[in-house]
Amino acid sequence: MSAAEQIEEEGLTAEEEIQIFDTIDKWLERDVRPVVKKFDHADEYPHEIVEQMKEMGLFGAIIEQRYGGLGMSASTYAKVVIRITEVWMALTGIFNSHLIMATLVQRFGTEEQKQHFLPRFATGELRGGLGLTEPNAGTDLQGIRTRADKDGDNYIINGGKTWITNGIEGTCYALLTKTDTKVTPAHKGMSFFIVEKGDGFSVSRRLEKLGYKSIDSAELVFEDFKVPAANLVGGVEGQGFYQAAGGLEIGRINVAARGVGLASAALKDATRYSQERETFGKPICKHQAIQLKLGDMATKVEAARLLVENAAQAYDRGERCDMEAGMAKYFASETAVEVSLECMRIHGGYGYSKEFDVERYYRDAPLMTIGEGTNEMLRIIIAKQLIDRNPV
Ligand SMILES: Cc1cc2nc3c(=O)[nH]c(=O)nc-3n(C[C@H](O)[C@H](O)[C@H](O)COP(=O)(O)OP(=O)(O)OC[C@H]3O[C@@H](n4cnc5c(N)ncnc54)[C@H](O)[C@@H]3O)c2cc1C
């Protein structure tokens, strides 16, 4: 059943969707906007805000209702991400990688795994993320070295991961491992496990970052870490690489939506400031040089928004959408980088000050060109799909 059919069968009504947007908007203005600068500048984890996110059901946003989630379509989810990012991008990372983990179970897990994990993911009782990247392998995932060796009813995991979002504050992860290190091509030996922290699992380091503050990024180490064989996603070895590709589609739609949200916030700030700031006897928005910038910025934000909608709708129809999600993520993240810089330039010296939000947009934006597949790789994926879909 496609996601669209699922939503039709058990998902949100239009009124429920409006109610959710309304609740989120009120929460953002009341509880989040006033404290963003404080948390971001202190690089402090926003525990209370995360509790509020749990109460609103955001950790189960795209988990089906029969497993306790809100059952949002990707289209609705993308709109939620845009709204939250317009206020604070880092918050969306707290539930996005968690929801990629949930998507892996929802799409590829056995019925027992769905019943065991999804309700606890949906409430946020179990929270965490996605463990793909290793010190020696990010884009080239076939190069990972973390291995899982079968031992009776368990697997023993040894290795390490880096850059894992929610690595410190979370407790549960979808971990990509090698269950066969000899097979060629190497991706046939890769498998996902859902793992909960325990003996043999440790956090070796919290990583310091340019932006995307407050949310934890960590290095993880596994030493003879025992995981029940029942936690092998889908119950069959060798499916991990394909499952990662499937999970990353929703991840890329999320990152694309973040790009739109951040660029949109920068555009709004620039539009307002350009009407307030005067030089040479008139507001700077009356100077053609500033109008050209605003014209470019507004057009790119709108184009990025439409690409995100297009990708999310394809996902909801149950179609293969790596090309659409890739285009949306590539264009929206580059737009976020460009628009946040232009916003800074429109603010002149004030844009470089820590008193304005624009410095945070400028620090947060580049991450979106890297995470969930670098834009270099995405352009290659887009081109490959273009050729595949248009054979001569
Ligand atoms: C803040 C943050 C949070 C993150 N969160 C997570 C997380 O939760 N879970 C997780 O698993 N990972 C996470 N990552 C890791 C992220 O997904 C990787 O950094 C990303 O996939 C790139 O991998 P890499 O850093 O190893 O770069 P590399 O793969 O070493 O790439 C280096 C450069 O080479 C380019 N390149 C590589 N191969 C090719 C090619 N074939 N053709 C053209 N260009 C190429 C890349 O585009 C890039 O420009 C996070 C990273 C950051 C910074």
At residue 3, the pLDDT reads 44
| CB of 284 closer than 8 Å to CB of 272 | no
212 Cβ below 6 A of ligand 1? yes
**372 belongs to the catalytic site:** yes
CA-proximal residue: ligand 1, atom 31 (nearest): 139
> Is 56's C-beta closer than 6 angstroms to any atom of ligand 1?
no
User: What pLDDT is attached to residue 136?
Assistant: 95
Question: Distance, CA 226 to ligand 1 centroid (Å)?
Answer: 28
* C-beta 164 within 6 A of ligand 1: yes
Of 133, 172, 252, 367, best ligand 1 pocket probe by most atoms within 8 Å of the beta carbon: 133
How many angstroms separate the CA atoms of 294 and 271, rounded?
7
Distance 158 CA to ligand 1 centre (A): 22
pLDDT tens for the chain, 392 residues: list them. 444 454 445 578 888 889 999 999 999 999 999 999 999 999 999 999 999 999 999 999 999 999 999 999 999 999 999 999 999 999 999 999 999 999 999 999 999 999 999 999 999 999 999 999 999 999 999 999 999 999 999 999 999 999 999 999 999 999 999 999 999 999 999 999 999 999 999 999 999 999 999 999 999 999 999 999 999 999 999 999 999 988 888 999 999 999 999 999 999 999 999 999 999 999 999 999 999 999 999 999 999 999 999 999 999 999 989 999 999 999 999 999 999 999 999 999 999 999 999 999 999 999 999 999 999 999 999 999 999 999 99
The per-residue pLDDT for 12 is: 83
Average per-residue pLDDT in the chain? 95
Nearest to 255 by CA among 70, 377, 89, 54: 89
Task: Go through 62-85 and write b for each residue having 16 or more CB atoms within 10 A of its CB, e for each that does not.
Answer: bbbbebbbbbbbbbbbbbbbbbbb
Residues ≥6 apart with Cβ < 8 Å to 196:
126, 171, 172
Judge if the beta carbon of residue 29 lies within 6 A of ligand 1.
no
Q: Separation of 333 CA from ligand 1 center, angstroms?
A: 15
State residue 10's pLDDT score: 57
> Per-residue b/e over 49-61, b at no fewer than 16 CB within 10 Å?
bbeebbebbbbbb
Ligand 1 site, residue 263, Cβ cutoff 6 A: no
Residue nearest to atom 27 of ligand 1 (CA): 138
The answer to whether 328 and 252 have CB atoms below 8 angstroms apart is yes
Expressed in angstroms and rounded, the spacing between residue 371 Cα and the centre of ligand 1 is 6
Domains and CATH numbers, the chain: 3-127 (1.10.540.10), 129-238 (2.40.110.10), 242-389 (1.20.140.10)
CB of 363 shorter than 6 A to ligand 1: no
Cα three-residue angle 68-72-73, rounded to 5 degrees: 140
Closest residue to atom 24 of ligand 1, CA basis: 138
Q: Which atom of ligand 1 is nearest to the CA of 176?
A: 11
Q: Are 206 and 187 in contact (CB under 8 A)?
A: no
Per-residue burial over 299-333, b if 16 or more Cβ lie within 10 Å, else e, is ebbeebbebbbbbbbbbbeeeebbbbbbbbbbbbb
Q: Is there an atom of ligand 1 within 6 Å of 376 CB?
A: yes
Q: Give yes or no for residue 142 CB within 6 A of ligand 1.
A: no
Catalytic annotation, pick one of 134, 309, 359, 372: 372
- Whether ligand 1 lies within 6 angstroms of the CB of 367 is answered as yes
- 374 C-beta closer than 6 A to ligand 1: yes
Neighbours of 102 (CB within 10 A): 32
Report the separation in Å between the CA atom of 138 and the middle of ligand 1, taken as the mean of its atom positions. Answer: 5
Distance (angstroms) between ligand 1 centre and the Cα of 133 equals 8
Backbone angles phi, psi at 354, to 5 degrees: -80, -5
* CA pair distance 98, 93, nearest whole angstrom: 8
pTM: 0.95
Distance 208 CA to ligand 1 centre (A): 16
